Amino acid sequence: MKRLSEKKRELEKSKRELLELKYRVFYNRPHSSLDAIETTMPILNDDDRKLKLLNKHEKLIQRKKLDFVAIKIIAAEMKFYQCLREFDHELAAIWKTHRELVKNKGMSTTLTNLIEKRLTGITDRWRDVYNYRLNFYFRNFHGDFEHTNTNADGDKMKRIGFSLSLMIDAIHRFSDKELQLLNRGPTYVPTGQISISSSGQSNDDIIKKKYAPLKHQLSYLFSKYHINIALSMEIQLKISDQFTELFSVPIPSNLQQRALYEKHLLQSIRYSLNENNLILRRTADNMNTFYLGNLHEFETKAYDYLSKSDAYKVLLNKDTDNGGQQWQIDLKQMVESMNLLLESLKNHKAVNIDLFNRLLVDASKVKLPYLYFLPDVSKENEISLVPYITSQHSATWRIGKYLNELLRPFVDKNLSTTTFRDEPDFMRKLNDYVYVERHLRATTLFCSIKIINYYTLDIHKNMVDTVGYFLKDNLVTNKLEQVTIQTIKNLLLIFLYNNVFYYKDKIYTLMKGSSNTMPLSDTLSNIFLFTWQKKILKEIKSKNEFFGRYKDQVFFTWNNGNEEELDSFLQTIRDKNHNVQFQKLIGTNVPFLNAFVENQNGELFTRVYHHPILSRYTLPYVVGHSKLAHGDWFRSALIRAVCYCSSIENFNLERIYLELTCLANGYSIFFVENNVQHFFGYFHADTMRYLKDQTMYDKFRHDWFGYMTMQYELSDKLQTFNDNDCLIHLNYLYEFGPKCQFNQQFHCLWLESFNQHANLSKDKVKVQLTTKHQHSLNSLLAREKSTCSIQ
C-alpha cells in the first residue's frame, strides 16, 4: 500500500505540473526562468525605427518562449504517462498478490473502500495545492509573477509574455488596456453590443430585434415554397415563442459592465487612430492579427500599387465634373447598356425570359464596389499590400453568380484528376504515389510553383476565348445545361467589361481578370491555368510523375533530369506564356500548401511547414461565432497535422503547438482538452497521445486518410444540395443565451412540420441554422469605405 500511495502521489504531482505549464500560457504568466531568453535591444535614436524593431523583437521573444514551453510540455507529458503506467502496474500487482494469497476470493469491500479513500485523499490534497498555486500566482498575479524585471542598467522594463497578436509599424499612444483589446485580434466580437445599443428599450423589443433576421428569412422561404398561410403562421408562432422563452433573460450584470467598458475603450481607440493619423487593418494572411501603421505611408503604397499595376484603369474622377454627379450618370448608362445587351440575347432566344429577368440589373439596387488593401507581413523588413474589391450588390453580381453556378460544377468535374481538394487530399495522393505506385526514387526532385497574378492572368478577350476553347474541348455538344457556348462567352464579356469600383476619388475598371472576392473569378482562373498547365503535363505525363494544383499553387515531381534542366524547362514555359507570372522552388525538399516535403534518398519525409516570418501561434481570422469557428479550425488543424507529419515525434510537437495557440489566445484548457480527446477518441486511440509507437501511429494516420475520403463524399452531397438550390441558410442575432438548445428545438420542429413535404423534407433540403453576431473589432475599427449607391 505504501508503494501504491507513492506512485499515486507521483502521478498527481506530474499531472499538476503538466497543467501548470499550460495555465501559465493561458494566464500569460511565463516563468521567470524564461527571462533569460529576452535579449538586449540595440540602442537607436530614431523613435519610429526603434518602435518597429521593438515590436519585432517582442514577437521573436514571444515565439521563442512558446517554443521552449512546447518542449517542456512534451517532457511533462512523457513523465505523466510514465507515472500513470507505473501506478497502473502497482495497482495491478496488488490485485494479483491478493488473488494469489486468498484464492477464489475477491478483495473485501472494506479493504477496497480503504484503498479508494486513501487514493482519493491524495488526489484531493494535490488538487488543493494546485488550486492554491493557481489562484495565488496566476489569477491574482502575486509572488514572482510581476510583469517587470530589471535590465543591465538597473531600469525596470516590461516582461514579455506569451500573447502578442498586434503588429505595430508606427508610433502610437495607446494605453496598455487598449493594446490588450487590440491583441484580441480582428475576429473578436465585443460583448453585449445589442443590449448597450438598445438602452431605453424593453427586453421584448431587444428580443424582437434579435429574432428579426430569422423571421424575415422564414417568411420569404414559406412564400417561395407556397406554404399554407395558416401552417406558416403556426410554425412561425411556435419558433417565435421558443426564441422568446429561451433568450428573454437579459445578459448578466458583469457582462453588461464589460460591454460598457469595452465600448469606452473602442471610442478611445477610434479617437487615437484619427488624432494620430494611424490605420488599423487585419493582415492579408487571414490570421487573427491586426496591423497598425501610418495612414499616409499606407495610402502612398496603395497609390504606388495602382499606378504600377497593368490590371487597373481609371475611368472617372468621382468628385469632379457636373457637381460630382457625372460619375452617377455614366454608371447609369453602363447599367443601361448591360440591360440592352441582355435584352438582345433574349430577343435572339439565347436566354429565356426567366433567365433574362434573373440577370436584369436594377440600377436602384446597385452599389458601387470599393477597393481596399490589406497588409502582407510575410516578408522580412517589408510591408506590401494586397488589393480586395467588394463585389456583392455590384452591377455584375447577378451575372457572375449565375455563371459560376453554371460553370463551376462542370469545371470541377473535368479538373478533378489534376486538382487537390485541400491539404489532406494533397498528402493522401502523394503518399499513394510513393507507397502504392512506388514511383519515388532517390534522385526525384520536387517542384512547387506559386502563381502570383492568379486573379489577373490575362486581358478579358483572352480569358473569354480560353473559356470557349475549354468548353468546346470538353462538351459533347455546344451547350452546357441548355446554354450555348457563345451565349456563355457573351455573358462573360458583359461581366468582365463592367466590373468597376472606386478608390478615394477615382473610379476604376479591371483590365485583367476580375475581383478576388467574386466566386466566378476562381472558376475562370482555374480554367485558364488548366490550359496553361498542359504544357507541364505534356512533358511529365509519360514519365510516371506526380502532379497537382490547388488554386494558385502547383506541385509536381521531376525524374527527367537534374535541377538545371528542370529550371530551363520552366523558363521556356515562362518565356512562351509571359502572362502567367510565377515563383518556383526546386529541390529534394520544398514547402507546399503548408507542408514541408522532403525526399530522403528515396524515402518520403513530411511535416507541417511554418513560415519563418509569420507567427505559428496565431489563430485564423473568422467571421461570426469565433469559438465555434476556432473549434472547427482546431480539429481540422489536428487532422492536417496527422496527415502531414510522417513521424510521430513531429506530430506530437505540432499538436502541442496547436494546443498552445489556443491557450495563448484565451481559450480554456477545457476547450483544448475536449477537442484533443475527441480527436484521439474518434478512432479509440487515446494512448496515442503519449506513446511513441511509430507503427501504431502509421495505422492511426491511415485511418484519418480514410476518414477524409468519407468527408469528401459528404461534402460533395452538400455541394449538390447547394448547386440545386436545396441548401437553406438561416440565422439570427445572438449575444447571450442557450443557442444550442434553441437550434435543437428548431430542427425538431422543422422535421415534425415538413417530414412529408414535397420540397422541404429532410431528403429534399438541408437546413443550416447559424448565429449572426454583431460587429467584430475588424468592422468596428478598420476604416473601410462603404459602398455607394447609384442614385
Q: Which of 102-116, 250-264, 385-399, 495-509 has the lowest mean pLDDT?
A: 102-116
- Kindly tell me if the per-residue pLDDT of 29 is higher than 90: no
**pLDDT tens for residues 425-441?**
999 999 999 999 999 99
Range among 52-66, 93-107, 304-318 with highest mean pLDDT value: 304-318
* Joined grid coordinates for residue 277: 493619423
Contact 197, 292 (CB under 8 A): no
- Gap between the Cα atoms of 621 and 388, Å rounded: 16
**Rounded-to-10 torsion of CA 515, 516, 519, 521:** 70
> Which helix (H) or strand (E) element contains residue 67?
helix 47-101
Range among 129-138, 280-289, 714-723 with highest mean pLDDT value: 280-289
**Distance in Å from the first CA to the final CA of the chain:** 86
- Kindly tell me if the per-residue pLDDT of 311 is higher than 70: yes
Per residue, the 3-state secondary structure of 303-354, as one string, reads: HHHHHHCCCEEEEEECCCCHHHCHHHHHHHHHHHHHHHHHHHHHHCCCCCHH
- Gap between the Cα atoms of 586 and 584, Å rounded: 7
- Kindly tell me if the per-residue pLDDT of 321 is higher than 60: no
pLDDT of residue 676: 96
Provide CB contacts within 8 A for 551, sequence distance 6+. Answer: 454, 522, 525, 526
Cα→Cα distances 64→37, 160, 266, 607, 618, Å: 7, 11, 31, 20, 14
Per-residue burial over 400-412, b if 16 or more Cβ lie within 10 Å, else e, is: bbbbbbbbbbbbe
Instruction: Say if strands 166-168 and 290-294 run parallel, antiparallel, or are unpaired.
Output: parallel
DSSP reduced 3-state for 615:
coil
Contact 312, 208 (CB under 8 A): no
Kindly state the average pLDDT of the residues 35-42: 62
Of 587, 535, 619, nearest in space to 185 by CA: 619
Kindly state the average pLDDT of the residues 13-33: 88
pLDDT of residue 148: 44
Q: Which of 87-91, 553-557, 730-734 has the lowest mean pLDDT?
A: 87-91
Of 137, 135, 180, 164, nearest in space to 66 by CA: 164
- Gap between the Cα atoms of 312 and 315, Å rounded: 10
- Kindly tell me if the per-residue pLDDT of 168 is higher than 70: yes
Torsion over CA: 176, 180, 181, 186 (sign) = positive
Of 217, 194, 280, 207, nearest in space to 244 by CA: 207
Confidence bin at 102 (pLDDT 50/70/90) = low
Confidence bin at 323 (pLDDT 50/70/90) = low
Kindly state the average pLDDT of the residues 321-336: 80
Mean pLDDT of the chain: 88
**pLDDT tens for residues 208-224?**
999 999 999 999 999 98
Kindly state the average pLDDT of the residues 692-718: 93
Q: What are phi and psi of 706, to 5 degrees?
A: -65, -40
- Kindly tell me if the per-residue pLDDT of 41 is higher than 70: no
**pLDDT tens for residues 471-485?**
999 999 999 998 999
**pLDDT tens for residues 719-752?**
888 888 788 999 999 988 899 999 999 999 999 9
Which pairs from 356-362 meet CB under 8 Å and 24+ separation? 358/398, 358/402, 359/398, 359/399, 359/402, 359/491, 360/398, 361/335, 361/395, 361/398
Cα→Cα distances 261→184, 194, 269, Å: 15, 15, 12
pTM strictly above 0.85: yes
Contact 598, 465 (CB under 8 A): no
Provide CB contacts within 8 A for 655, sequence distance 6+. Answer: 638, 641, 676, 689
Kindly state the average pLDDT of the residues 512-526: 94
3-state helix, strand, coil in the chain (%, to 5): 55, 15, 30
**pLDDT tens for residues 595-636?**
999 999 999 999 999 998 888 899 999 988 888 899 999 999
- Gap between the Cα atoms of 652 and 608, Å rounded: 11
How deeply is 366 buried, as exposed, middle or buried, from its count of CB atoms within 10 A (0-12, 13-18, 19+)?
Answer: buried
Higher pLDDT, 44 or 789: 789
